[in-house]
Chain A
Amino acid sequence: MAFFRTAAGRGIVVLFLGLVLAALLEAEGLRKQAQIQPQGFQRHLALDVTRPLVRFSHALHLTTPRHELQVAIGRRNEDQIDTQVHLSLPPPAGPIPQGGARHRGTPAPHHRGTPASVKPRFTATKPLKIWVAGDSLAQVPGEGLERVSAADLDVLPIESRLSTGLARPDLYNWYTRFTQVIAALHPKVAVLSFGADDAHDYMAGAPAGTTVGPLGSASWSAEYRRRVDGVTRELDAAGMYVVWLGLPIPDGPGFKKSFPIVNRILESVARAHKQGATYVDTWHLLDDSHGNYTPYLRVRGTLTLMRLPDGVHYTSSAGDLIAHQVLAQLHAKYRF
């Protein structure tokens, strides 16, 4: 006990008090932090701890100051947990079409599709509005598009949100965001990069009565396909052309198994919506001549670093390469 009368002892008490009080003031934020963690022991523990914390904090109105501050800075809904998958269009009758298999290097048939005479034309005065969105992998290709595009393309501010996806609307609800973007920004093209943070066993917001199995199971794939297909149809119905960016070949064994599961779904949905969507195969765009991961590729004769040290994210050179692929596919659809 004498220790707690020393400076260090008092410091421990102060720190403990400070953290406990901060936890109470921030209870709702902590509950959200707990909720959005990957499935497992740590998430269960965090949820068990934060549940009573939120109740107690609510009872004492301790969440009010943070709330007020959030309102003052225009971020009022930040602590809300929304697990709804908002897809307003009803699913098509029968099973969701899966599209055919495509071999590496073969361009999707609709790339050659639309004859030039009927392609909508965009100019510097009436530019093609492009919205780039998704998880952290969306950022660099989006920046690449900004760099390589001319005045006849208008790349809207990139919306890249770390660790988000279509599987976890509780973490960030992209479905709500799609509705807002359709209503407010009116882009003509949506370049979407999702899946890197979806390739896990847990999926929030599954329809009532549906059980979603582990990643790669039939139920997981069916639910994920339902979401990708639903987003494609919603955006297509709003007059937007969807460019799904596939996941790149990763370094290390972990993601090598999970990324192709997502890629197969993205590609098959794009092929099922030939007029409204397309798929950019970044996996094969960034692998080496043997189909293996490589951090470098030769670009115009120069060995160029394409991947960050984590073996997943892109360098800006890779972003430019992907952006050129996106533009090539857009040229098949539009004149600009």
Chain B
Amino acid sequence: VLFPTVTFAVFFMIVLTVSWALMTRQRTWRAWILVASYVFYAWWDWRFVFLLAASTVVNHVLAVAMYRADGARIRKLLLGLAVAFDLGLLAYFKYSGFFVSSTDNVFGTSWIVNITLPVGISFYTFMAISYVVDTYRRELVPASFARFAVFQAFFPHLVAGPIVRASELLPQLETPRDPRKVNTSRAFVLILSGLFLKVVIANHLSTHIVDDVFAAPNKHSSLEVLVAVYGYAVQIFADFCGYTNIAIGVALLLGFEFPQNFNSPYAAVSLQDFWRRWHMTLSRWLRDYLYIPLGGNRKGTLLTYRNLMLTMLLGGLWHGAAWTFVVWGGIHGTGLAIERALGWRPATAAAQWFGRILTFHVVCFAWIFFRADSFSRAGQVLERLVTAWGQSSPLVTTSVVLAILVGIAGQYIRPSAVGNVVAGFQRLPVVAQGACIAVVLVAINTLGPEGVAPFIYFRF
């Protein structure tokens, strides 16, 4: 089920109402929300419901066994089994085609695999890994099976995050949510802003410039290519931040708090700062379950750089099974290493603006490899950026430039301004709130291009 559809609106209205009606009867509520989440997932492809269920059962059984086991070796073995199972799922469903074709192109093996990628597998697998690792570290007491099943399948985060930690969501599943303490105004502002970002900004940029230019860069002027690169930077932000805003808002209406996932990433003054603002739940996952276990910055300068680079390369590969994603991670890893070597921490206002502009352009440069479907296409984009100035640029329209400017300017909106909007909405009477929502929904739907393109991060 896609968030910006009538089907989802009807689905959510029913789930929300029944959810609050059942909230005090926790067992029944858990059964209801689990069924709703599985229906949500099955809407995409019912076959993969069994995969999600299998992931839940295996991770829960191993986490409980690990918690009850006394010996360090047996606990380590169980952790290894759980992580191997989770990574095995990812390797099989997400990476087998990539590995097999890469192997073939080196050794000529002529093996071919044809495996459908289950939507959201990267997200719920990472959540499962954090659950078993936290249990192993004795930071977490395994929840009941029903609670863990809800934690993993809870539909607001199921297909594209945010990657919620067990320690964040499981405690909220212990007791009924208090209907008096739900910040519905914040939820509505998040949902509407998410819809605007996705339907108006991201879809417009995708259909009016980005897809055309990245499909055939050689046919476009340097100005079009440059605007398309900026456009993609805004598109991917609007698409993914839009999705997570909706997810966080939907969860909030159901009574649950999710962690923030974006914090004005294009206002970052350095790459390190960028990764504290972009896909924050993935960044901290990579930090806590990859970078720090590798040794972090505790084992000397060289190993710190190695760990940094490994983390970013694997982070790149997490996004997609292609070498272009690895290069994207490599660019970020290299940039982070350079910043570290230089001790780059801009203090003055001028240095911060320099940092912002430089960081944004390094990020845009890396997005070229992220968006292009091959190295040759990325090369064409880069070449075209410098070789076709002065040609006509019909794709650079006012609406495209406006969408990019809105996307960038949005990064500089102060949290207090958003807080004022929420507070203003809160003060309105119920009917006026409903009317506001209706007007904004209709405006978004009318301004957005026809059809609903899938969210970019669904495929990761």
Contact = CB atoms under 8 A, between A and B. Distances in A.
Which of A26, A161, A251 has the most chain B CB within a 10 Å cutoff? A26
Nearest to B181: A7
A73 B449 CA distance: 11
A163 interface: yes
Contacts of B435: 17-18, 21
Contacts of B373: 315-316
Nearest to B394: A157
Contacts of A7: 179-184
Interface footprint category on A: 35 or more
Contacts of B434: 13-18, 20-21
B215 interface: yes
Interface string A141-153: 0010011000000
Interface in A53-87: 65-66, 69-70, 73, 75, 78
A11 B184 contact: yes
A3 B179 contact: yes
Interface in B434-452: 434-439, 441-443, 445-447, 450-451
Contacts of A19: 9, 13, 437-438, 441
B396 to A, nearest CB: 14
B58 interface: no
A14 B443 contact: no
Interface stretch (A101-109, A200-208, A294-302): A294-302
Interface string A256-296: 00000000000000000000000000000000000001111
A147 B9 contact: no
A183 B450 CA distance: 24
Given A69-B443, A162-B451, A305 B97 contact: yes
Nearest to B433: A14
Which of A13, A15, A69, A157 has the most chain B CB within a 10 Å cutoff? A15
A66 B16 contact: no
Q: Is the interface of A mostly helix, strand, loop or mixed?
A: helix
A70 B182 contact: no
Nearest to A136: B451
B438 A25 contact: yes
Interface stretch (B111-119, B263-271, B276-284): B111-119
A163 B436 CA distance: 32
A15 B13 contact: yes
A8 interface: yes
A309 interface: yes
A296 B112 contact: yes
B430 interface: yes
A328 interface: no
A10 interface: yes
Contact of B216 (A6, A16, A143, A304): A143
Given A17-B430, A21-B438, A22-B442, A147 B216 contact: yes
A12 interface: yes
B302 interface: no
Contact of B447 (A18, A20, A26, A73): A73
Which of B17, B373, B374, B433 has the most chain A CB within a 10 Å cutoff? B433
A78 B451 contact: no
A42 to B, nearest CB: 9
B430 A10 contact: yes
A251 B114 contact: yes
A30 interface: yes
Contacts of B17: 12
A17 to B, nearest CB: 3
A220 B434 CA distance: 46
Contact of A66 (B105, B182, B253, B446): B446
Interface string B96-119: 010001001100001010101100
Contacts of B219: 146-147, 155
Interface in A110-137: none
B20 interface: yes
Nearest to A147: B216
B3 interface: no
A311 B97 CA distance: 14
Contacts of A73: 446-447
B442 A14 contact: no
B218 interface: yes
B416 to A, nearest CB: 22
B308 interface: no
A24 to B, nearest CB: 8
B341 interface: no
A9 B114 contact: no
B170 interface: no
Contact of A15 (B116, B180, B253, B374): B253
Contacts of B445: 26, 29
A25 B114 contact: no
A221 interface: no
Which of B114, B216, B219, B450 has the most chain A CB within a 10 Å cutoff? B216
Contacts of A146: 215-216, 219
Contacts of B255: 8
A93 interface: no
Contacts of A35: none
A11 B253 contact: yes
B369 interface: no
Contacts of A157: 212
A303 interface: yes
A214 B433 CA distance: 47
B413 interface: no
Given A25-B438, A26-B442, A303-B104, 12 more contacts: A8-B182, A13-B430, A19-B437, A21-B438, A69-B442, A139-B211, A140-B215, A158-B212, A294-B112, A296-B112, A304-B101, A316-B377
Interface of B: 6, 9, 13, 16-17, 20, 97, 101, 104-105, 110, 112, 114, 116-117, 177, 179-184, 187-188, 211-212, 215-216, 218-219, 253, 255, 373-374, 377, 430-431, 433-439, 441-443, 445-447, 450-451, 459
8 contacts: A8-B177, A17-B431, A19-B438, A73-B446, A78-B450, A309-B116, A311-B116, A316-B377
Query: 7 closest pairs, A vs B, by CB?
Result: A17-B434, A18-B437, A11-B184, A143-B215, A21-B438, A8-B179, A146-B216
